[in-house]
Every structure is written in structure tokens, then in C-alpha cells.
Amino acid sequence: MQKGSQTVTERSAPYDVSPLSQSRQGDMACETLYVRKHVQGGRLAESGAAARGTEIHRILSVYIDHLVRTRRATDLEVFDSLLKSVGAEAREVLERFRDNHAFDPERILATELHIALDENFLPIEDPGGEGRTAEYEGTLDLVTLHSVTEAEIDDWKSYYQIIDADTFQSQFYPLLLMCLNPSLERVKFVLEFIRYGASRCAEYTRKDLPWLKELTQTERARQEDLHKLASRGERELKASPGRHCTWCPLLLNGCPVAETNPYGQMSAEERLRFALWLQEAEKHNTRVLKDLMVERGSVRYRDENQTEYVADFVPMEKKFYPYRDAASILDQWFRAHPDERALRDRLTISGLSSPLKAAKRAGLAQRLADIADVRVETDLRIGRERRNGREEQES
Ligand code: SF4
């Protein structure tokens, strides 16, 4: 049952709760961070990473709007002139984007599309101007319509790490778009890691709307509870360290758990030194442990809770199928079982990268490069940097 808009205003007014957005939801991971930033307010310094992100979003929005106006797929001259106005960090990220992105201007619905919904998930054209209060909002970087029923949301990320599209944002933005446009049956949400030219995506259909709404309402209720908590002052706000500390302005000045917060105890450089020490210590310890176990076998240890731990040499069977024989067997199988097409499409061959580096196989390497499915991922690499700038894996 839909509630009247009057109820919405009455319920929200005492706490002056801003609409739930993906960034506010992110800040809710720590009560102290959220209240300091969104209840007590005040101007908090923007981090370097946030400033870089803002610059990148501005340039891409101006560029894509230009492509739509001029009905072009790319315009590198204009892109290059826009690049002149950004800082070195943003330019480094955007230069990659320059060469691997083209658009179909006819399909682009909007850039920086701001969507506001009321508590019944109905769109509000003019937040604050219709007597209805926005409870949910988001600004979608790029929305492309593939058909009347299918759309895609692209979200630009300049992160250094590639992450999966399983965040609150990846669920929240398709919800916003499907509520704005009732004809959409399917929405694809794409995280575009423009630094690497890689992406990760998630898809939702109208059938997902009930649980997406429920999830969003739960987060909205948590947000309202935080405002109530802050205004009543019934108890101390919790401070919960986590990844969000990396963008929290209180990290170095005012974090209530500064003494134990792992994010504030060491600088990034100190963390790297510590990681190198741990790496060496782990290698050394494992070597000695293995030597001890060669003669005496497994080692057991029981903690005070009677939980037992064991180090043991365990035989592991790893199967390798020789290409020479396996290829023809698989071919026969797939010919006899057409319903196994999905399995055939998933099969890949490993162990080729090294042999393909040989000069005599350049032709083969070229042919295989055309069919290779390249998936870019980010691995944490800790090692020695060579003088010529290349990095070397330590372990
Ligand atoms: S630095 Fe402290 S206040 Fe800020 S998010 Fe982390 S735990 Fe919360």
C-alpha cells in the first residue's frame, strides 16, 4: 500500500535526512564517519582520489555530451583539447580511455543522469519543488538504451584495484533506473575501470525489483536510525574501522579508535615494509616447519578452546589432459551431445603463454591472440622495483 507524500515529509523532517545515495550508504559503514559528515556537517577536505574522480567524471560527461550533439562515435581532437585542462593523475587515466572507447550517440540517453525517488519509489522530477521529499537518489555516469526494454549504466572508476560489480551501488542504480523508466525490463550495470580498460558487470531484471526495493528500504531505515541516534545522543557512536577509513577525514585527526585502528597506525609505506618482513618470515618459518616434518610427520597444536590445528603433507591429485588425445575425444563428445554447448564454450587451454613467446611461433601466437579471451584483473604485487622501472615478483 502506498503511503501519502505528507507522511514522507512528516517522517523525515525532524531529522532532516538527506536522500539515501551510494556514497552515503558507503559512509554508513562507520557510525562516527556518517554522523560527522552527514549529520554534524561542516566542510571536510576532499581527498586527492576524490578530486581525481571528479575531474575524470567532468571530462567524460562533457566529451560524451559533445558526441551526442555532433552525432559522432569519437572525436579525439576534442578529447585531446579537454585533456589539457586536467591534472597529471587524471590525464594518465583518461589517456587509456581515449583509445579504447567509441559510442553510439543514437543510443545514449544521458550522462550524469540524476534520479530522485520518493519513499514509494516514484520518480520526483524536481526534488523539493513538488511537495514530495526525495528518499533515494543517485547520479548515473552514462545511460545507454539498447532497446525500449533494455538499458546499460556505465559507472566510471579510476580505482587502482579491479573489483566485482557486487556492491550496493551495482544494485541501487539499476533499481533507480527501472523505477524512472517503467518500460525497462533489463538493466546492465557496468563498472568501467578506465585505468585498465577493463570492466565488470551485473544484470538485473524487473523481477528483481521487490528484493532490490527491500534492500534499499533496509538501508534507508538504517540511515534514518543513525540520524535519530545522533539527535538523541542516547549512546556513544560506534567507530568501526574498515576500508572506508581510507577516505575518512577523521582518520588522522579525531578517530575515536585511533589507538587501535589498523588504518591509522602505519603509513602505506610502513605497511609495505611490514608486508615484506611478513613475507620473509612466512617463507622462513614454512621452510623450517617442512624440514621438521620430513622425519616426524604431522604436527598438531591445540589452543585453549580445544580447537586443534594441524600441519601435514597431504597427497594431492592434479589431473592434466594431454591435448593430443583429449582434443579428439572432446570433439566426438560434443558431436554426440549438442546440449553440451555451454561446456564447450567454457573450455580453455592453459600452458600456452610461455611457448608462444618463441620467435618461431610468432605466426601461431598472432592467430591465437585474435581468439584469446583477455580478462584484466588486479593482483597485489609486492616485490623489488628494478632500476629501469620494471617490477620484479619476489615470491
Ligand atoms: S577512521 Fe575512525 S571514524 Fe573514520 S571511518 Fe575509520 S573508524 Fe570510523
Tell me the domain boundaries of the chain.
5-230, 268-311, 322-347
Ligand 1 atom with least separation from CA of 36: 3
Residues 6+ apart with CB under 8 A from 106: 71
**Residue 326 CA, ligand 1 centroid: distance in Å:** 55
Nearest CA owner, ligand 1 atom 2: 255
Instruction: State residue 40's pLDDT score.
Output: 85
Ligand 1 atom with least separation from CA of 248: 4
**Residue 380 CA, ligand 1 centroid: distance in Å:** 24
| Cα→Cα distances 239→29, 254, 257, 303, Å | 9, 11, 7, 30
**pLDDT tens sequence across 228-252:** 999 888 788 999 999 999 989 899 8
Ligand 1 atom with least separation from CA of 264: 1
Tens of each residue's pLDDT in the chain, 395 residues: 333 333 333 344 456 789 999 999 999 999 999 999 999 876 666 677 788 889 999 999 999 999 999 999 999 999 999 999 888 888 988 998 988 899 999 999 999 999 999 999 999 987 666 677 899 999 999 999 999 999 999 999 998 999 999 999 999 999 999 999 999 999 999 999 999 999 999 999 999 999 999 999 999 999 999 999 998 887 889 999 999 999 898 998 889 999 999 999 999 999 999 999 999 999 999 999 999 999 899 999 999 999 999 999 999 999 999 999 999 999 999 999 999 999 999 999 999 999 999 999 999 999 999 999 888 999 989 888 876 654 444 43
CATH of 5-230, one of 2.60.40, 2.20.25, 3.90.320, 2.170.240: 3.90.320
Q: Which three cell numbers stand for residue 4?
A: 501519502
Quickly count: other Cβ atoms within 10 Å of residue 190's Cβ: 19
**pLDDT tens sequence across 251-310:** 988 899 999 999 999 999 999 999 999 999 999 999 999 999 998 999 999 999 999 999
CA 164 to chain CA centroid, Å, is 5
Nearest CA owner, ligand 1 atom 6: 245
**Exposed/middle/buried for 197, CB within 10 Å: 0-12, 13-18, 19+?**
middle
Nearest CA owner, ligand 1 atom 8: 239
**Residue 26 CA, ligand 1 centroid: distance in Å:** 12
Q: For helices 88-100 and 76-83, what crossing angle results, to 10°?
A: 170
Q: Which residues does ligand 1 sit against, CB inside 6 Å?
A: 30, 32-33, 239-241, 244-245, 248, 250-251, 255, 257, 261
DSSP string spanning 250-286? TTTTT-TTTTT-HHHHS-HHHHHHHHHHHHHHHHHHH
Instruction: State residue 9's pLDDT score.
Output: 35
| Cα→Cα distances 151→131, 171, 287, Å | 30, 14, 54
Q: What's the predicted TM-score (pTM) here?
A: 0.82
**Residue 265 CA, ligand 1 centroid: distance in Å:** 12
Quickly count: other Cβ atoms within 10 Å of residue 293's Cβ: 14
Q: Which three cell numbers stand for residue 5?
A: 507524500
Ligand 1 atom with least separation from CA of 261: 7
Nearest CA owner, ligand 1 atom 1: 251
